[in-house]
Amino acid sequence: MKKIFSLSIICLGILSQINAQTDSASAEIKVVPKPKFTKNVFTTTKIINMQSTEMGAPGFLQFMVQHHFSNIYNKGSETQMGAQLFGINSGVAHTYLSFDYTPLRWINVGVAAAGSSMYEGFSKIKFLRQQTGSKKIPVSIALYSQVSVNTAPDKTITFAGDRYNYVNQLLISRKFNDKLSLQLMPSAVHYNKVPYGINNDNEVYSLGMGGKYKLTDVLSIDFEYSRQLTGYKNILTSNGAILNYEPNLASIGIEINSGGHQFHFFIGNTTASSNIEQLSRNNNALAGHGLAIGFTINRSMFLGK
């Protein structure tokens, strides 16, 4: 009897030791949090005129129509403001039509007709996505590159490469909360050929920022501002005239998200439809008669199975 009792005590001790070791091993196992990516930093691929860090989901094709009307107010033509519906019916407008496709989550490519016999091709590559969890990355970063070709007849162009111009933008965005998102966007425009004139250069640099403030689930306020840093002041043309471009580019608008479509209605100091023209050769001043209205419509469709 004593032997059985002693054997029972020994068995209980061994089992207790095994359980203790198992509990200790379990305590050492750490749960690694999964990455949690920040979604909808911006609702669409453009803030207003400038690109955002967003792109469509893999397999999605997006069609975009952006329309810039003429100036709301033209100095010397005040009596025509009502007849021209404050720029809407003036006969001077620029329309931007684009298709873009996202083959992979981190890359987007597209083509566009930018008006005035100008055509564009572009790509957007996302390097970082804002996220928490296993990795804490506070911003999203993407590179946007665009090439533009002017097909209009021009006897001064003898080399086909002189028709091409480029813009590159580094897009750095952060979603601070469910309502506010901001983006920084340094830009560089390159002209293969520049018009004759003093202070005209192949390279034009600018620094911009934009943002979105969400009012409701379907309504947001968007804004943009960019400052041209070079190539806008005291440019001497071939006939001897001095030309100054407007260094400040600004827009503000309302965004409506209906689910399948996104609408932008905006006002800003440009009537140009191409980012190259907007960032380097904008003639519209913020003050006075330089403001014009416009709208954007987006539609996406899935091309996969």
User: Mind listing the pLDDT tens digit for each residue in 85-141?
Assistant: 444 556 677 889 999 999 999 999 999 998 888 999 999 999 999 998 888 899 999
Q: What is the pLDDT of residue 225?
A: 97
Q: What is the pLDDT of residue 120?
A: 96
| d(C-alpha 118, C-alpha 226), whole Å | 23
Same domain? 158 vs 23: no
- Helix (H), strand (E) at residue 236: strand 235-236
Q: Lowest mean pLDDT: which of 24-28, 73-77, 198-202?
A: 24-28
Q: What is the pLDDT of residue 240?
A: 76
Does the structure show a pLDDT above 70 at 77? Answer: no
Bridging pattern class, strands 107-115 and 36-37: unpaired
Two tokens, residue 38: 């920040």
Q: What is the pLDDT of residue 73?
A: 63
Same domain? 41 vs 185: yes
Same domain? 40 vs 55: yes
Same domain? 22 vs 94: no
Residues with Cβ within 8 Å of residue 233, at least 6 apart in sequence: 199, 244, 245, 247
Does the structure show a pLDDT above 70 at 8? Answer: no
Same domain? 71 vs 129: yes
Q: Tens of pLDDT along 235-267? A: 887 677 888 899 999 999 999 987 767 899 999
Does the structure show a pLDDT above 60 at 7? Answer: no
Same domain? 128 vs 52: yes
Query: Is 249:263 a contact under the CB 8 Å cutoff?
Result: no
- Helix (H), strand (E) at residue 19: helix 2-28
Same domain? 22 vs 170: no
Same domain? 24 vs 118: no
Same domain? 103 vs 160: yes
Q: Tens of pLDDT along 188-223? A: 999 998 876 677 888 999 999 999 999 998 999 999
Same domain? 112 vs 253: yes
Q: What is the pLDDT of residue 49?
A: 94
Q: What is the pLDDT of residue 152?
A: 87
Number of domains the chain is built from = 2
Place of tokens 């792109």: 55
Q: What is the domain range of residue 233?
A: 31-302
Same domain? 105 vs 229: yes
Same domain? 144 vs 82: yes
Query: Is 271:249 a contact under the CB 8 Å cutoff?
Result: no
- Global pTM reads 0.83
At 298, which CATH number?
A: 2.40.160.40
- CA 249 → CA 72, 204, 268, 282, 293, distances in Å? 16, 14, 8, 8, 14
Section 6-26 average pLDDT: 50
pLDDT top residue among 99 and 159: 99
